[in-house]
C-alpha cells in the first residue's frame, strides 16, 4: 500500500471571548489537518501542531515531508517516521510538529485496514475511557469572581480536575489556586499553567506558595526556549515544593530523556500532534514508565484531541494521568467538524471504538472554517516582574483576523 499524496488543510474558529494568559492573548483556535492518501483508496487523517505559524508548518509538510513520504509503504509506520525525522535535517522542532500529522494519519490507515481502533493497536484495548482535566483555551486571566464562576460550571458538569492560567504574578497565582480550591473542595484537583512566565527566584516563591495551598501541579514556569530550561525544571522538581509538570513543548523522546536526566518532572505532558505523532508519544510514555513519571497528555483542538485520547488509553496504567480537554463553548473544531466527536461522560472521555481514529471529517464543515491570518495567540514575550516594572500591563486584545482560503 503506497502513499500517493499528502494533503494539508488549515482551519480556524474564533473564540467567543478573548483568552488572556501569561504568554499572550488568544482570539481563535487553529488546526492543521493532514490527509494521507494511498494507491488502494484508503486514506488516513492526522493533525499537526501549527506552532503559532500555521503557514510555515503547512509549507514544511507540503514542500519537505510530503515528497519524502510519497511512494513509501503506508503500513511501514516506523520506517516512514525515521525517514521523515532524520531526513528533515536543520528544521528541528518545527519538523517534528509537521511530521506528527503524517504519523497519526498512518496509524489511522493501519486501523482502517485491520478494522481496529488505534488504542487497541497500541495495546490499550481494555481501556474504554480516560479521565479528563479542563484545560486548553479556558480559565484565563479574568476577575476572580468570573474565574470562580467558570470553574464551578465545569465542576458542575462532573469534571474532577481543572487547570487555571498563571503568570499573572506570584501573589495572584497563589490566590487563584487557593480560592478555586476553597470553592470546589478537596474532590477537584486544581492545576496551574505558568506559560513560561517566571524567573528562578519568582518560580521558587510561587512554587512554595502553591504547595501550601494544595495545587495539584505547577506547569511550565520557565521559558522552554532557553538552553538551561531542563536544568531549572529539574532543580525545581528536586526541591519538592509542589509537583512540577512540563513536556508540552519538549519534542521527541530524545529531548524528554534529557529533561529526565537533568532532574525530571513529576508529570510529563506530551501531545501527539506536537512531539512526533502517536509513534513518538508512545515512546515518551515508555520512557516515563521506566522513570515512574506520570503521563498527562496535553491536547489542543478537534482531530488532535481524538488522537490524544487513543494515545492516553495505551499509556501504561501505573503512569497514566489526566488528559487535557477543552470544554469551551462554540467550538466547531471539536463538535461540528468531526463525524464522531469525543463523548464526555461525568468527567471522562470515551475512547473511540471505530477503526483507526474512529472518526472522519465533515468536508462541508471544513470548508466553512477558512483559515484566518494573523496570530492565534498574540504573544507579548517574557516580562520583568511587576515588582520591578510597574508598566507591565496586560496586552491589548488582538484585532479580528481576516479569513483566507486554506
Domain boundaries, given as residue ranges, for the chain:
3-117+366-374, 119-356
Helix axes 200-213, 170-184, angle to 10 degrees: 20
Tell me whether strands 267-268 and 244-246 are parallel, antiparallel or unpaired: parallel
Q: Which of 3.40.50.10420, 3.40.50.620, 3.40.1210.10, 3.20.20.120 is the CATH number of 119-356?
A: 3.20.20.120
Grid coordinates standing for 393?
500591563
List all residues 6 or more positions away from 187 whose beta carbon is below 8 Å from its beta carbon.
160
User: Any idea what the Cα angle at residue 94 is, between residues 234 and 19, rounded to 5°?
Assistant: 75
Neighbours of 158 (CB within 10 A): 12
| Rounded Cα–Cα distance for residues 92 and 364 (Å) | 34
The pTM of this model reads 0.94
Give the pLDDT score at 257: 97
With the CA atoms of 98, 326, 323 and 267 taken in that order, what torsion angle do they form, in degrees rounded to the nearest 10? 80
User: Is residue 49 a contact partner of residue 100, using CB atoms and an 8 Å limit?
Assistant: yes
Helix (H) or strand (E) holding 349: strand 348-350
Answer yes or no: are the C-beta atoms of 154 and 325 closer than 8 Å: no
Q: Nearest-5° angle of CA 42, CA 350, CA 155?
A: 140
Provide the pLDDT for residue 383.
60
Residue 295, sorted as left (phi over 0), alpha (psi -120 to 50) or beta, turns out to be beta
Compute φ and ψ for 363, nearest 5 degrees. -65, -25
Q: How many helices (H) and strands (E) does the chain have?
A: 14, 14
Based on its alpha-carbon atoms, the radius of gyration of the chain, rounded to whole angstroms, reads 20
- Residue 379 pairs in a beta bridge with 24
Nearest to 163 by CA among 282, 299, 309: 299
Question: What local confidence, expressed as pLDDT, does residue 95 receive?
Answer: 96
247, 3, 249, 219: which is closest to 102 by C-alpha? 3
What pLDDT, on the 0 to 100 scale, is given for residue 396?
43
Q: Which three cell numbers stand for residue 224?
A: 522552554
> Within its chain, how far is the Cα of 98 from the centroid?
14
First to last CA, the chain: 28
Q: List 222's β-bridge partners, or say none.
A: none
**pLDDT of the residue at 382:** 64
C-alpha cell at 406: 486554506
pLDDT of residue 389: 52
Residue 89: per-residue pLDDT: 83
Pairing label, strands 294-295, 323-325 = unpaired
**CA pair distance 91, 60, nearest whole angstrom:** 9
Tens of pLDDT along the chain (406 residues) come to 999 999 999 999 999 989 999 888 999 999 999 999 999 999 999 999 999 899 999 999 999 999 999 999 999 999 999 999 999 987 889 999 999 999 999 999 999 999 999 999 999 999 999 999 999 999 999 999 999 999 999 999 999 999 999 999 999 999 999 999 999 999 999 999 999 999 999 999 999 999 999 999 999 999 888 888 999 999 999 999 999 999 999 999 999 999 999 999 999 999 999 999 999 999 999 999 999 999 999 998 899 999 999 999 999 999 999 999 999 889 999 999 999 999 999 999 999 999 999 999 999 999 999 998 877 888 876 665 555 454 444 444 434 443 333 3
What class, spelled out in words, does domain 3-117+366-374 have in CATH? alpha beta
Distance CA 75, CA 329 (A): 38
Q: How far apart, in Å, are the Cα atoms of 154 and each of 135, 186, 206, 335?
A: 11, 15, 25, 17
- Cα angle 352, 121, 81 (rounded to 5 degrees) comes to 110
CA dihedral in degrees (288, 291, 292, 297; nearest 10)? -20
Q: How far apart are CA 251 and CA 185, in angstroms?
A: 35
Rounded CA-CA distance 334/342 in Å is 8
Distances (CA, A) of 245 to 43, 49, 220, 255: 36, 20, 6, 15
Amino acid at each position: 500500500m503506497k502513499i500517493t499524496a499528502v494533503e494539508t488543510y488549515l482551519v480556524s474558529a474564533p473564540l467567543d471571548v478573548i483568552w488572556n494568559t501569561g504568554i499572550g492573548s488568544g482570539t481563535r483556535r487553529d488546526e492543521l489537518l493532514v490527509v494521507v492518501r494511498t494507491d488502494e483508496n484508503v486514506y488516513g487523517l492526522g493533525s499537526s501542531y501549527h506552532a503559532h505559524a500555521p503557514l510555515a508548518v503547512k509549507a514544511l509538510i507540503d514542500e519537505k515531508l510530503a515528497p519524502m513520504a510519497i511512494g513509501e509503504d503506508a503500513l511501514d509506520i516506523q520506517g516512514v517516521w525515521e525517514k521523515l525525522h532524520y531526513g528533515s535535517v536543520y528544521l528541528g522542532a518545527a519538523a517534528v510538529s509537521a511530521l506528527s500529522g503524517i504519523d497519526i494519519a498512518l496509524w489511522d490507515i493501519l486501523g482502517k485496514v485491520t478494522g481496529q481502533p488505534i488504542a487497541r493497536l497500541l495495546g490499550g484495548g481494555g481501556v474504554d475511557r480516560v479521565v479528563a482535566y479542563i484545560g486548553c483555551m479556558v480559565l484565563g486571566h479574568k476577575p476572580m469572581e468570573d474565574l470562580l464562576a467558570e470553574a464551578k460550571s465545569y465542576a458542575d458538569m462532573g469534571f474532577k480536575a481543572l487547570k487555571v492560567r498563571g503568570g499573572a504574578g506570584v501573589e495572584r497565582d497563589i490566590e487563584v489556586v487557593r480560592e478555586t480550591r476553597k470553592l470546589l473542595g478537596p474532590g477537584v484537583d486544581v492545576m496551574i499553567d505558568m506559560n513560561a512566565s517566571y524567573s528562578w527566584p519568582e518560580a521558587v516563591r510561587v512554587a512554595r506558595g502553591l504547595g501550601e495551598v494544595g495545587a495539584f501541579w505547577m506547569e511550565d514556569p520557565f521559558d522552554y526556549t532557553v538552553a538551561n530550561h531542563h536544568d531549572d525544571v529539574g532543580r525545581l522538581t528536586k526541591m519538592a515544593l509542589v509537583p512540577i509538570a512540563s513536556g508540552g513543548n519538549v519534542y521527541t523522546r530524545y529531548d524528554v530523556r534529557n529533561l529526565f536526566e537533568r532532574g525530571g518532572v513529576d508529570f510529563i505532558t506530551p501531545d501527539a500532534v506536537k512531539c512526533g505523532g502517536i509513534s513518538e508519544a508512545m515512546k515518551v510514555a515508555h520512557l516515563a514508565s521506566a522513570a515512574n513519571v506520570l503521563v498527562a497528555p496535553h491536547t489542543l483542538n478537534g482531530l488532535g484531541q481524538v488522537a490524544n485520547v487513543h494515545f492516553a488509553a495505551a499509556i501504561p496504567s501505573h503512569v497514566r494521568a489526566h488528559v487535557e480537554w477543552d470544554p469551551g463553548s462554540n467550538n466547531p473544531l471539536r463538535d461540528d467538524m468531526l463525524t464522531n466527536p469525543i463523548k464526555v461522560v461525568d468527567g471522562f472521555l470515551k475512547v473511540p471504538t471505530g477503526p483507526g481514529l474512529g472518526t472522519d471529517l465533515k468536508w462541508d464543515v471544513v470548508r466553512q472554517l477558512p483559515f484566518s491570518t494573523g496570530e492565534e495567540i498574540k504573544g507579548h514575550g517574557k516580562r520583568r516582574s511587576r515588582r520591578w516594572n510597574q508598566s507591565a500591563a496586560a496586552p491589548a486584545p488582538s484585532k479580528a483576523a481576516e479569513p483566507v482560503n486554506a
